[in-house]
Structures are given as C-alpha cells and as structure tokens.
C-alpha cells in the first residue's frame, strides 16, 4: 500500500464527521490507548500529555486498558466519550473487529474518529459501512526488518519460534506475516508460533514451554518488546545465552538488552509521537479541514547495537 496524503479538499462518502464544540471552548479529544501496563503506551501517554501542554488549544481526556485483553474498557470508553460530547476520538484498538461498531456510533454522533497504531479490520468496516482512515506504521514491513536481521544472523536452517500478539488485533497479524516472510526468504526452520497476548509474564511462560519442547531453538521473534523481555527473562532463568531474540517497539527497557547482546534488534515505531501526531490530524478535521483518507503511514526504523 502506498502513502496516502490528506486530500486537499474533503472527499465525498467519508464517514469522518467534524464535532461541534462551542465557539468559546477548547475542542476536547478523547484518546483511547491499549494497556498502560505496557511501557510503549506509558510513553505514548506521556507524549500526548506533553503535546496537550505544548499546544494549549485543546483539552485531552486519555484512557487506557488495565491489560492487553481488557477489550471491554475500550468499548466503554467510546460510549463515555459519546455521552460527554467530545469533539474527536483518537483510538488504538485492542481488537480490530470489536471496535468498529462502537466507533461507527461515535461517528454517527458527529465525532471525528482517527484510528491509529492498530488498523481496524477491513471486512468489519465493510459490514458496518464504515470508511475510516488509518494512521500508523507498516507493521508487516517493520516485523520483516526484525525478522531479516535474525535471518542474516542465523542463516538458512536456523531454528526459530514466533511469539505473537493478540489474535484479534490487525498489527499482531501483520507482524506475524512479516516474520513469516523472513522465515521463507532466509529459509529458516519455524518450529512453533504461539500468542502471548502482548504480555511479558505470559511470554515468559509460553516461551519456557517452547524451550522445553524445542531445546534446539536458535532464535525468537517476539511481536512486541514486552514479550521479548519475557523471553529474555526465561532465557536467563534457563541459563541460556545462545538464543538470538528480536522484538518490536523500541521501548527504553530493551535499550540495555540490545547494547549487551541479550537482544539482537527491535523496531522503532516512534510511539511517543504517534498519538500526538494523530491528535494533530484529528484537530485539523475538527476545525473544518479536509478529511483523512486511506493509510497515512508513520515511520519505522530497525534498531541494533551497531
């Protein structure tokens, strides 16, 4: 898919609608993130709060989930924001299908909706007759960058496993596909692929079981850094320092792990800026600017010790 720019004039048929804040009031933006137990979203929250203070021309209401499978809290947040009459909702959906219906309800209430970080499911949008742009990274391409780094390190025949994210999330599926593309290109031997729902402790347990079942594992591709940290902890508990680990997100906690070799690589998707940039785009629409279309790509970058 190509980078689609914001149209110079409002396109017809889009389901994004501008909110109607009172003239004397600052527009209100509701930010819905995933688990605030995840350092990636903690940093995103900090970036959004700093952005609100810097701009000073809007009010931010930010919420997150208690954990990575707490989908209902996101649905409830949309309902609450509709009741409060916010001007815009900026959302990183935990479940790409389940969030389509409540977000459609928000748009029908005249609220600008910006979907960022994790794309809503294409088929679910068609079923609900929803047209909604996506602001976010190329998750498949980013995962392939990390997978390629692992493939180059291990070479053909390298025995690897994948630790996946939430099965219902588009970015989890895209990252798995990106890793699988690296497996095919570098002729790696994929021994197993299981979900750990983005969680550190679950990844620790899942990978420990994988290691017992496949003691000859040489490499691990984790779909986010929180799970990569769980893998590293499991390796340390098992006394193994011969297995190569790659992740995704470039949260600060993995910096030392990459520096000292416990991890080979991660992918930076600049999460601190992602919500802030999406809020900027939402506010442009609230103020009467053009609607968003298609896929507004955000940057990614491979991070290694070199």
In tens, the pLDDT along 48-97 reads 999 999 999 999 999 999 888 888 999 999 999 999 999 999 999 999 99
82 & 104 share domain? yes
246 & 205 share domain? yes
132 & 277 share domain? yes
120 & 192 share domain? no
In a domain, 201, yes or no: yes
pTM, whole model, 2 decimals? Answer: 0.86
226 & 180 share domain? yes
Give the mean pLDDT of 107-131: 96
Among the listed residues 201, 202, 153, 198, the one whose alpha carbon sits nearest the alpha carbon of residue 176: 198
Q: Is the pLDDT reported for residue 3 higher than 70?
A: no
284 & 209 share domain? no
145 & 243 share domain? yes
Among the listed residues 193, 260, 202, 207, the one whose alpha carbon sits nearest the alpha carbon of residue 237: 207
82 & 175 share domain? no
97 & 70 share domain? yes
43 & 121 share domain? yes
The CATH number for 68's domain is 3.40.50.2300
What residues have CB less than 8 Å from 256, skipping those under 6 apart? Answer: none
The helix (run of H) or strand (run of E) holding residue 200 is helix 200-213
For the chain, give the mean pLDDT: 91
Q: What is the C-alpha to C-alpha distance for residues 263 and 253, in angstroms, rounded to an integer?
A: 11
User: What is the percentage of the chain residues whose pLDDT exceeds 90?
Assistant: 88
pLDDT of the residue at 10: 26
Output DSSP code: residue 94. Answer: S
Q: Is the pLDDT reported for residue 14 higher than 80?
A: no
9 or 276: which leads in pLDDT: 276
Residue pair 41/9 in contact (Cβ under 8 Å)? The answer is: no
245 & 178 share domain? yes
38 & 187 share domain? no
Q: What's the farthest any 2 CA atoms get from each other in the chain?
A: 65
Q: The domain containing residue 177 runs over which residues?
A: 139-268
């Amino acid at each position: 898919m190509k980078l689609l720019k914001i149209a110079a004039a409002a396109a017809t048929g889009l389901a994004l609608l501008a909110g109607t804040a009172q003239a004397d009031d600052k527009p209100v933006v509701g930010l819905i993130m995933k688990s605030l137990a995840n350092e990636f979203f903690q940093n995103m929250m900090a970036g959004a709060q700093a952005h609100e203070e810097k701009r000073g021309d809007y009010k931010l209401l930010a919420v997150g989930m208690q954990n990575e499978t707490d989908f209902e809290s996101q649905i409830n947040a949309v309902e609450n924001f509709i009741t409060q009459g916010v001007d815009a909702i900026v959302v990183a959906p935990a479940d790409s299908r389940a969030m389509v219906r409540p977000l459609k309800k928000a748009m029908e209430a005249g609220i600008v909706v910006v979907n960022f970080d994790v794309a809503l499911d294409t088929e679910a949008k068609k079923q609900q007759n929803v047209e909604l742009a996506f602001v976010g990274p190329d998750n498949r391409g980013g995962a392939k960058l990390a997978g390629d780094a692992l493939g180059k390190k291990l070479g053909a025949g390298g025995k690897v496993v994948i630790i996946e994210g939430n099965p219902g999330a588009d970015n989890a599926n895209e990252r798995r596909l990106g890793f699988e593309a690296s497996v095919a290109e570098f002729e790696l031997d994929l021994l197993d692929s299981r979900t750990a729902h983005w969680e550190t402790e679950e990844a620790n347990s899942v990978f420990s079981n994988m290691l017992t079942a496949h003691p000859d594992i040489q490499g691990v591709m984790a779909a986010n850094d929180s799970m990569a940290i769980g893998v590293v902890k499991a390796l340390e508990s098992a006394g193994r320092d011969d297995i190569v680990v790659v992740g995704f997100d470039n949260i600060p906690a993995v910096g030392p792990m990459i520096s000292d070799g416990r991890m080979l690589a991660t992918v930076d998707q600049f999460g601190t800026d992602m919500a802030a940039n999406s809020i900027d785009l939402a506010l442009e629409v609230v103020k009467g600017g053009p609607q968003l279309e298609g896929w507004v790509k955000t940057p990614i970058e491979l991070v290694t010790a070199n």
